[in-house]
Amino acid sequence: MFIYDSGAEGKLTWWIAINLFMFIRIFDFIEWKVRGKKTVSNGSFGIIRFGTGAIGTAILWSIHSFIYMPTMGVAEFSFNAIVLSAFAAGAIPLLSPSKIISLGYSLILLVPVGIVCLMSEQEYQQFLGYVILPSAFLLIPICYKISKFTQDAIKQKHQNENLMEAMKLEKQRADTSNKELHAVSSQLNQSNSELEQEIKSRTEQVLRMSNIDSLTKLLNRKTFTSNLEKLIENAKAKNNPLALLFIDLNGFKKINDTMGHRVGDSVLIQVTQRIVAFAELSRVGRWGGDEFLVALPYSNEDTAMSIASAIITSIDQPIFVHGNELHLTAAIGVAIAPKHSTSATELIQLADLTMCEQKSTSINAPRMFTTHLKEKIQASQKILEGLQHAIHRKQLFLCYQPIMSAGAHVPWAFEALLRWDFNGTFIGPDKFIPLAEKSGLIKEIGAWVLNRACMDAKHWQHCADATVSVNVSVIQLMDDGFIRQLDQCLQSSALPPHRLHLEVTESTFVENESKVLLILEEIQKRHIKISIDDFGTGYSSLSQLQTLPVNYVKIDKTFVDNMDGKGEAIIRATQFIAQELNCKTIAEGVESKNQANMLASMGVNYLQGYYFAKPMKNEDLIIWQNPISKSSD
């Protein structure tokens, strides 16, 4: 039978208590580890729990020291002192993450032992007390230093972990960005590929559009000229003739203006189909408007004329458009390369001029370019070159023909008529005015005429109130700077605006009726009167007068000459409508007293013609006598 004394029972109780406490700490550690995987906390509560367990353990060992060490033998006492000192020293680095726990644990273990030793009656125990207590206090700076080192290491570890986490996050972001960038790059590459394809398609389309006439699908002017140059070079190399046909439609403008551009476009398309039937599509071009070009390789003069005649016959056939039966004719000029020229530009010009010459004859047949025609063209070119310097060389001058009141036969106005003395040769306006209009010189010449006429009229002493009438070309009128030029002319000459009349032909109104009307309204605002010259000789109807802001209608000479026939009826109709629209009438080409009297009896307001006076220079107006004296003849 084993008998326990009270000391043995106390130690057993202490042993059970400390083991139970250790079991609780182990269980708490396991629970903390398991829960830590599921939840995230800042760790403060875990540190408190761990520190409480460590301090509790130290307290239990201190209690053991106070209660049992005084009764221990030398060996047992020394063993306990060494164990507790080892626990205290070993706990410093182990518990160093917390200064309080580390220092508290070590001091709680050593200080009670040291006190017990100092209070002991045994000399060796007192000696141990002198060793243990100073050692315990020496652990304080060691504990602080080790704890600081450990905390710095932990902090550095956490910083490294945070840095690694940041690097990992940044790497993930970079990977994500790279993936997004790769996706965007793929999309961009796809878009670029589609854009390149679109640009290529658009470029091809623009190239086709720049080479092809959009309406007829024929070669345009630039491309046809370029192709013609190659065809001429090939004709020269093989010593074969090449014929060029310049085709112009007669009557198309009237269709286009009266029936609208929709009908006009349909007519051009049908005419194109008829022309293409006689030549390859790649050798037919649209020069502009109603003008076409046809290149015929390996064609001599006879072949070219035969094909041109066939084209004219084909175009002459009725054209059915939108329920309308329309009729056109064609004028064709023909030039041959290399016989007539080896330059594409010049060959086109020769064929064009030949066509214009043929068109003026009203003969419905093609015409071949000839040397005689070339001489005529050269003469026209010489006139054109001289016209370019006519103003500078002071070769142009004005003549004035009086316009008389039909009743009193007194001067009411004077029409300014342009004349040209070309190095001693008189050139009629019927020759140089068309050239001036075609070359564009009419703007400069027209401006000079307008300014000169206003200056002359301002200084008329013999007829201080007379009006000066100036013809204005449609090219001048359509110029955007015409109104500004007109204002400058009146300002520089100081001529009152009511003393200036502008004459425009009725063909002016078919160029761009809306724009012309706006310009005429601007002229009327300046109190400048407007006359329609040669009214009735064109295709427009008399009813057109109601839309025109005009003051006078000039009756053409052809109707005056034919008063014995249908001319009288036309004059009376014109006179009637003009009166209804508050317009006055002026009859041109009056050459006899009988004509003057008849026109006056019809109600015509003003008369102009050789019966009263021929056109005369400005200085001759002073000595001019009113032709009323001719009434005695």
Q: What is the tens place of the pLDDT at every residue in 149-160? A: 776 777 777 777
* Six-digit token string for 134: 């100073």
- Looking at the predicted structure, is the pLDDT value of residue 630 above 60? no
- Looking at the predicted structure, is the pLDDT value of residue 631 above 50? no
pLDDT band at 94 (very low <50, low <70, confident <90, very high): low
Of 43-57, 182-196, 369-383, 454-468, least confident by mean pLDDT is 43-57
Q: Burial of 488 by CB count in 10 Å (0-12 exposed, 13-18 middle, 19+ buried)?
A: middle
Mean pLDDT of 7-17: 71
What is the pLDDT, as a whole number, of residue 180? 83
User: What span, in angstroms and rounded, lies between the C-alpha atoms of 579 and 18?
Assistant: 139
What is the pLDDT, as a whole number, of residue 43? 61
User: What span, in angstroms and rounded, lies between the C-alpha atoms of 595 and 220?
Assistant: 53
What is the pLDDT, as a whole number, of residue 632? 39
Q: What is the tens place of the pLDDT at every residue in 500-529? A: 999 987 666 655 677 888 899 999 999 999
Residue 50: what are its φ and ψ, rounded to 5°? -65, -45
What is the pLDDT, as a whole number, of residue 256? 84
Angle at 507 between CA 505 and CA 513, to 5 degrees: 110
Q: Burial of 541 by CB count in 10 Å (0-12 exposed, 13-18 middle, 19+ buried)?
A: exposed
What is the pLDDT, as a whole number, of residue 633? 41
- Looking at the predicted structure, is the pLDDT value of residue 232 above 90? yes
What is the pLDDT, as a whole number, of residue 273? 94
Q: Burial of 72 by CB count in 10 Å (0-12 exposed, 13-18 middle, 19+ buried)?
A: middle
What is the pLDDT, as a whole number, of residue 155? 74
* Six-digit token string for 330: 């064609």
Q: 336 with 304: CB under 8 angstroms?
A: yes
Q: 84 with 108: CB under 8 angstroms?
A: no
* Six-digit token string for 277: 């039937």
Mean pLDDT of 571-589: 89
**315: nearest Cα among 265, 275, 354:** 275
**485: nearest Cα among 466, 496, 472:** 472
Number of other residues whose CB lies within 10 A of the CB of residue 442: 23
* Domains in the chain: boundaries: 6-171, 221-369, 393-622
Mean pLDDT of 6-14: 67
Residues 6+ apart with CB under 8 A from 257: 510
Q: Which residue has the higher pLDDT, 244 or 134?
A: 244
396 forms beta bridges with 420
Q: How many residues does the chain have?
A: 633
**245: nearest Cα among 159, 153, 337, 178:** 337
Q: What is the tens place of the pLDDT at every residue in 446-465? A: 999 999 999 999 999 878 78
Query: Which pTM does this prediction carry?
Result: 0.53
Q: 487 with 521: CB under 8 angstroms?
A: no
What is the pLDDT, as a whole number, of residue 455? 95
Q: 357 with 376: CB under 8 angstroms?
A: yes
Q: What is the tens place of the pLDDT at every residue in 335-348? A: 999 999 999 999 99
Q: What is the tens place of the pLDDT at every residue in 280-298? A: 988 999 998 899 999 999 9
* Six-digit token string for 491: 């300002």
Angle at 170 between CA 167 and CA 176, to 5 degrees: 145
User: What span, in angstroms and rounded, lies between the C-alpha atoms of 303 and 486?
Assistant: 54
221-369 maps to CATH 3.40.50.2000: no
Mean pLDDT of 63-71: 71
What is the pLDDT, as a whole number, of residue 45? 66
CB half-sphere exposure, 282, CA atoms < 13 A: 5
Mean pLDDT of 254-270: 88
Q: What is the tens place of the pLDDT at every residue in 413-427? A: 999 999 999 988 899
- Looking at the predicted structure, is the pLDDT value of residue 373 above 50? yes
DSSP string, 245-266: EEEEEESHHHHHHHH-HHHHHH
For 393-622, CATH gives 3.20.20.450
pLDDT band at 543 (very low <50, low <70, confident <90, very high): low
What is the pLDDT, as a whole number, of residue 123? 72
Q: What is the tens place of the pLDDT at every residue in 125-148? A: 677 777 777 766 767 777 777 767
User: What span, in angstroms and rounded, lies between the C-alpha atoms of 455 and 431?
Assistant: 26
Mean pLDDT of 99-121: 72
Number of other residues whose CB lies within 10 A of the CB of residue 475: 18
pLDDT band at 225 (very low <50, low <70, confident <90, very high): very high
> Which residue shows structure tokens 């990977």?
175
Mean pLDDT of 100-110: 70
User: What span, in angstroms and rounded, lies between the C-alpha atoms of 568 and 559?
Assistant: 7
Displacement of CA 70 from its chain's centroid (Å):
109
Distances (CA, A) of 615 to 403, 404, 552, 620, 630: 11, 13, 21, 10, 17
Residues 6+ apart with CB under 8 A from 469: 403, 413, 414, 415, 416, 501, 502, 503, 531
Q: Which residue has the higher pLDDT, 621 or 93?
A: 621
What is the pLDDT, as a whole number, of residue 4? 35
- Looking at the predicted structure, is the pLDDT value of residue 311 above 50? yes
pLDDT band at 595 (very low <50, low <70, confident <90, very high): very high
Q: What is the tens place of the pLDDT at every residue in 165-211? A: 888 888 888 888 888 888 887 888 887 777 777 777 765 566 556 78
**AA identity, residue 260:** G
What is the pLDDT, as a whole number, of residue 514? 76
User: What span, in angstroms and rounded, lies between the C-alpha atoms of 377 and 147?
Assistant: 117
Q: 89 with 78: CB under 8 angstroms?
A: no
Mean pLDDT of 265-284: 93
331 forms beta bridges with 248
CB half-sphere exposure, 613, CA atoms < 13 A: 24
Identity of the highest mean pLDDT range in 14-28, 298-312, 467-481, 542-556: 298-312
Percent of the chain whose predicted confidence (pLDDT) is above 70: 83
User: What span, in angstroms and rounded, lies between the C-alpha atoms of 218 and 214?
Assistant: 8
* Six-digit token string for 457: 């009229």
